[in-house]
Every structure is written in structure tokens, then in C-alpha cells.
């Protein structure tokens, strides 16, 4: 079924669409109303048009899991969400106040305004962190103000929740975020530390105070990594009237190692509210960047030790392993998919704390451009996610114990292996396809994964495959239309 047409005046599940307020690369925002709600509402709809970045869909999934778990004045009130299989959307409270983005035209701000603004943002972050969420995309456009003065954080597509699978971190190797505000550990793929949001707030305070971003706006990973070893120009060098206590706070937020920042955003808020109690260190008096010799030493040695080289392993023990199941969603592989589901169900009876990661590989061409929409105009990545969810329904696992991942790659075996390595998978279950001449010469995906996987691998075969199915499976594989999970 084709997705419903979204336009002003249309109705979706009882919500009347008004004007489209924003259209970005990841999502569109609509003003909506509903007879059962007497407050202003927004509907967020992920972009699923031709050529869209898969991260837009994955980020929307994350926000759809996180937003319903949040409460309080520092986040928008969650209202409803659409069926993922038909038309995914999120409806939330519309914050009447403006974002901080227009304020950038007024920089630099007075000292008192910078401190007051920082205190309100730090207070909102502290409230969010107490709800087990790291925002990871703190920037002016994601900060709104209520008429009563409270700061509101929006857009949780890149966020990490301690009690939920980290879909963004598990599926993508490159860091996602807004370049000027990303913390050093975030650049390296570490997404679990609440103090990463302190770094982003430090960048904002520096920007509000001086009118200049401390690390510029790099567009490449090499430029992002410079903040691991090159410190910013001290604010007092650019703004002589900056008091030492404010420079102390800003530079402490911008420390390379999270352990050198404030213990919590609450501590940071307290410092901004009580400057007379800020303990001054050498940071407060700096007027120059660190000398070249220090930068060189840090560039080639110190940062390698101070920060994790890879993603932090998901916390689990022998009673809570990560069980990944690679599901082939093609029609001819349905018997194997059924067998895999039965095997996983049996394993879960002995592993009650296990988390299941359902994988499917959307095979891309090595040279040709790939279509992202099917003949009915539906996003192929989204449709694969829907099929994975339907496959897993009989497992009856609650949210937080199961996640769904469509990996896009020209090499299915490599994609599965990369996922298993990056996410510390304990046990991988997958199906084996029927024999064919090409498989005999080049080797099968299952054999490659079994030979190179860093964990236990169980390969299943189905005895119910008929001869005609085997012939069709071999033909599909040889034609390049084979999909693997």
C-alpha cells in the first residue's frame, strides 16, 4: 500500500494537517490539530523520498522510542505516533516560544545573558540526563524557550537512552551530529557519556560570548578530530571583559577528556548560577592557546590514551548476551526464516535476559546507482524494517529487548561481520541458502560469516525447501537480486 499523501487539509488518524512549518533532510514538521487535544500540536514525519539517508529513518525510530519515555517541562509532551508499517509519524506538544537560532544574529551577548542562558540549558540537560538520555545534538535550533522561561530540548533522533538499543551507534560507523558542537569522544564513536552534552553547551557559551565558534565548522572527519589535540583560543583573548570565572567554566566544559569536565550538568548549572563559588584554576587566566610542542605531543600520544578507540561495549553479562539473527526476507527463503524464528525462540527460553538484534542486508550495487523507492513509491529501507518487525512479532519481546537493523552494503557478509564486531555480539544465528555453482566457486555468505565472526555462529537450513524453490533461489542469487539477513 502506498503511503498516504500529506498536504494541508488532509487528515491522518484523526489529526488535521495545517501548514508545513519545516522541511529538512531528515524530517518534515507540520502544524496539526485534534478534537481531543486543546493544546498546539506538531507532527514530525520522516523523509522517505528517493535518495534519502538511511540515518533519517533510523533516527526517527530512536526518537519514537525515546520521546514517549520523557516527561517534564524541559521536553515537549508526547501525544501519539503512527503505525510504522503504514505511515510513521510523531505528534508532540508545540512549544510556543522560539528557538535560540535567531539569537545568533545578536552575538556577542552580554556577560549576564550568557551565564543566565547557560544556566537554563544546563538545568534542562540535567533533567534529561536524570531520565537516562544523552541528547548528543545540543545546538541553537534544538533549544526552545517556554513562555514561563524553561528551556526545552527537542529532536532526539541522535540521542542515546541507557535502557534502549542504540540504533544509531550500532548501524553507522561514522559519527552523526552537528560538527561545531560534537564532543571529542562523540567524534570517535562514543555515545554513552552525558558529559558530551556539556561539551556542546561549552561551545554554545563560547559562541554566545565571543560570536565565534571555538572549533569552527569542519566538514570532514579530519577537521572534527582536530579538537582532540588543539585547544581553542581562550575567550578572554577575544573578549577582554570576560570574567575569569566564566572562562573557567567554558574551558572546563571544552576539556578533551570527559572526566575533566563537570561531574554532571547539575554541577555546571550550579557554577553558572553562583560565580562567586567557582574555583579558579590555570584555565581562568589563559590568554594564549597551548604551545606547539604540547599540541604535537597531544596529537601523537596523549589523546590515544585519554579516549576510547572504539565504541564502548554494550553492558551485559553472561545472563544477558546479545543475540543477533540475520534474516533473509526474500520469498524463497521463507522456510529458513521460519526455522530461524523457532531457533531464536528456543534460545530465549534459556537466555531470559538476552537482547535480540534482527538484521537484514539491503544489497547495493558496487558501481550502479541504487533506487531507494519501490514501484509503489515506498522507501525500500523502511519496507525492510517493516518486514523485519513482522517476522519478529511471534517472539513477543518487549521494547528494549529487541531491535531492527537494515544494513546497506554491496557485500552482505562484510556488513554482518562489521555489525557483529562493532556491537560485541555474543551469538549470531543465520540461514544457509541452497547450493549453486556460484556459491560453490565463490563461497556462501554463511560460510564467510562463520569463518570470520568473533562470536558463536549457528547456521540453519530448512528441510522444507522444494526443488523448484532451490532452482529459483540459485537463479536469484546469480542475477544479483539476492537479499541477505
Burial class (CB in 10 A: 0-12, 13-18, 19+), 250: buried
The Cα-based distances of 198 to 186, 344, 380 in angstroms read 12, 41, 38
Strands 11-12 and 322-326: unpaired
The Cα-based distances of 302 to 187, 261, 262, 307 in angstroms read 16, 17, 21, 9
Picking from 322, 289, 299, the residue whose alpha carbon sits closest to that of residue 400 is 322
89 and 107 within one domain = no
- For cell 556460484, name the residue: 438
For residue 82, is it within any domain? yes
DSSP H or E stretch at residue 167: helix 167-171
- Give pLDDT tens digits along the chain (485 positions): 556 778 899 999 999 999 999 887 778 999 999 999 999 999 999 887 766 778 888 999 999 999 999 999 999 999 999 988 888 999 999 999 889 999 999 999 999 999 999 999 999 999 999 999 999 999 999 999 999 999 999 999 999 999 898 988 888 878 889 999 999 999 999 999 999 999 999 999 999 999 999 999 998 999 999 999 999 999 999 999 999 999 999 999 999 999 999 999 999 999 999 999 999 999 999 999 999 988 888 888 644 544 544 333 334 444 568 899 999 888 888 888 888 999 999 998 888 888 899 999 988 876 555 677 777 778 888 888 889 999 999 999 987 788 899 998 888 899 899 888 888 888 999 987 655 444 444 447 888 888 888 898 988 876 554 444 444 444 444 433 333 33
273 and 201 within one domain = yes
The Cα-based distances of 353 to 69, 167, 230, 347, 425 in angstroms read 21, 19, 43, 11, 14
Q: State the first-to-last Cα distance of the chain, in angstroms, to the nearest integer.
A: 24
72 and 107 within one domain = no
What are 38's three cell numbers?
Answer: 486543546
What are 83's three cell numbers?
Answer: 503505525
pLDDT value for 393: 92
Picking from 12, 64, 56, the residue whose alpha carbon sits closest to that of residue 34 is 12
Phi (first) and psi of residue 341, to 5 degrees: -65, -40
118 and 224 within one domain = yes
pLDDT value for 313: 35
For residue 1, is it within any domain? no
295 and 177 within one domain = yes
Phi (first) and psi of residue 61, to 5 degrees: -60, -45
CATH number for position 351: 3.40.50.620
359 and 337 within one domain = yes
339 and 298 within one domain = no
> Which pTM value belongs to this model?
0.80
Strands 322-326 and 143-145: unpaired
- For cell 531492527, name the residue: 404
Structural domains counted in the chain: 3
Last residue of a domain, one of 306, 332, 359: 306
For residue 408, is it within any domain? yes
262 and 374 within one domain = no
Last residue of a domain, one of 93, 114, 135: 93
- Other beta carbons within 10 angstroms of residue 301's beta carbon come to 11
360 and 329 within one domain = yes
pLDDT value for 175: 86
Distance separating alpha carbons of residues 118 and 33, to the nearest angstrom: 33
For residue 317, is it within any domain? no
pLDDT value for 256: 95
106 and 83 within one domain = no
CATH number for position 287: 1.10.510.10
Domain that holds residue 358: 322-479
Contacts of 387 (CB under 8 A, 6+ apart): 329, 360
pLDDT value for 119: 97
For residue 316, is it within any domain? no
For residue 443, is it within any domain? yes
Distance separating alpha carbons of residues 44 and 27, to the nearest angstrom: 7
CATH number for position 31: 3.30.200.20
Last residue of a domain, one of 306, 336, 356: 306
For residue 6, is it within any domain? no
- For cell 545546538, name the residue: 139
107 and 87 within one domain = no
For residue 2, is it within any domain? no
Give Cα 309 to chain centroid, integer Å. 19
268 and 188 within one domain = yes
Amino acid at each position: 500500500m502506498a503511503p498516504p499523501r500529506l498536504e494541508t487539509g488532509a487528515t491522518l488518524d484523526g489529526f488535521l494537517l495545517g501548514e508545513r512549518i519545516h522541511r529538512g533532510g531528515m524530517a518534515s514538521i507540520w502544524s496539526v490539530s485534534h478534537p481531543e487535544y486543546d493544546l498546539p500540536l506538531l507532527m514530525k514525519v520522516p523523509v522517505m523520498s528517493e535518495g534519502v539517508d538511511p540515518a533519517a529513518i533510523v533516527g526517527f525510530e530512536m526518537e519514537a522510542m525515546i520521546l514517549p519515555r520523557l516527561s517534564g517541562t524541559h521536553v515537549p509532551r508526547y501525544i501519539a505516533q503512527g503505525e510504522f508499517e503504514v505511515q510513521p509519524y510523531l505528534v508532540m506538544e508545540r512549544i510556543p516560544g522560539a528557538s535560540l537560532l535567531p539569537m545568533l544574529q545578536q552575538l556577542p551577548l552580554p556577560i549576564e545573558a550568557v551565564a543566565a542562558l547557560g544556566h537554563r540549558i544546563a538545568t534542562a540537560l540535567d533533567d534529561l540526563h536524570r531520565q537516562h538520555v544523552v541528547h548528543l545534538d545540543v545546538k541553537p535550533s534544538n533549544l526552545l524557550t517556554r513562555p514561563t522561561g524553561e528551556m526545552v530540548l527537542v529532536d532526539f533522533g541522535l540521542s542515546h537512552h541507557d535502557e534502549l538499543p542504540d540504533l544509531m551507534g550500532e548501524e553507522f560507523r561514522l559519527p552523526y551530529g552537528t560538527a561545531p558542537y560534537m564532543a571529542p569522544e562523540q567524534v570517535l564513536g562514543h555515545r554513552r557519556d552525558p558529559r558530551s552534552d556539556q561539551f556542546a553547551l561549552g561551545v554554545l557559551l563560547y559562541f554566545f560570548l565571543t560570536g565565534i565558534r571555538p572549533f569552527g565548522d569542519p566538514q570532514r572527519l579530519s577537521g572534527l578530530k582536530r579538537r582532540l589535540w588543539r585547544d581553542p583560543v581562550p575567550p578572554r583573548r577575544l573578549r577582554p571583559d570576560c570574567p575569569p570565572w566564566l572562562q573557567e567554566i567554558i574551558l572546563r566544559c571544552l576539556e578533551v577528556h570527559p572526566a575533566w569536565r563537570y561531574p554532571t550538568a547539575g554541577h555546571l548549572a550550579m557554577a553558572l548560577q553562583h560565580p562567586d563559588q567557582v574555583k579558579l584554576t590555570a584555565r581562568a587566566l589563559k590568554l594564549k592557546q597551548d604551545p606547539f610542542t604540547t599540541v604535537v605531543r597531544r596529537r601523537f600520544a596523549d589523546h590515544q590514551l585519554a579516549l576510547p578507540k572504539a565504541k564502548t561495549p554494550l553492558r551485559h553479562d553472561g545472563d544477558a548476551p546479545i543475540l543477533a539473527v540475520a534474516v533473509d526476507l526474500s520469498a524463497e527463503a521463507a522456510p529458513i526464516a521460519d526455522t530461524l524464528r523457532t531457533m531464536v525462540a528456543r534460545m530465549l527460553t534459556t537466555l531470559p535476559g538476552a537482547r535480540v538484534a534482527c538484521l537484514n542486508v539491503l544489497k547495493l550495487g558496487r558501481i550502479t546507482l541504487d533506487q531507494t523507492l519501490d514501484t509503489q513509491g515506498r522507501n525500500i529501507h523502511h519496507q525492510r524494517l517493516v518486514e523485519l518487525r513482522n517476522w519478529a512479532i511471534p517472539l513477543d519481546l518487549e521494547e528494549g529487548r529487541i531491535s531492527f537493523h537494515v544494513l546497506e552494503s554491496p557485500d552482505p557478509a562484510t556488513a554482518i561481520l562489521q555489525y557483529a564486531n562493532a556491537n560485541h555480539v555474543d551469538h549470531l544465528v543465520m540461514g544457509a541458502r541452497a547450493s549453486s555453482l556460484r556459491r560453490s566457486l565463490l563461497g556462501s555468505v554463511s560460510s564467510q560469516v562463520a569463518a570470520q565472526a568473533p562470536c558463536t555462529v549457528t547456521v540453519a537450513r530448512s528441510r522444507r525447501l522444494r526443488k523448484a524453490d532451490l532452482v529459483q533461489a540459485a537463479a536469484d542469487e546469480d542475477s544479483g537480486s539476492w537479499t541477505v539477513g
